Amino acid sequence: MTLLHTTMLMLGASCALMLVGFSARESRWGPALMMLGIVGALLLIAYNIYEMSSVH
């Protein structure tokens, strides 16, 4: 599995967490899942920016 596939799988998991959290926003754990998905996506973006800056 290439780095692109791994990144897309992690991004898909983050988006799925946000989707499930939004669907269950009336429950107690819905906003927590949305926050976990947002933090996961932002960490993935930050890691990719860090990797691109360390290559050059």
Are residues 30 and 21 in contact, defined by beta-carbon separation less than 8 angstroms?
yes
pTM of the model: 0.85
Question: How big is the chain by its Cα radius of gyration, in Å?
Answer: 13
Q: What is the token pair recorded at 53? A: 């800056």
Average pLDDT over residues 33-54: 93
% helix, strand, coil for the chain, step of 5: 85, 0, 15
Q: Assess whether pLDDT exceeds 90 at residue 55.
A: no
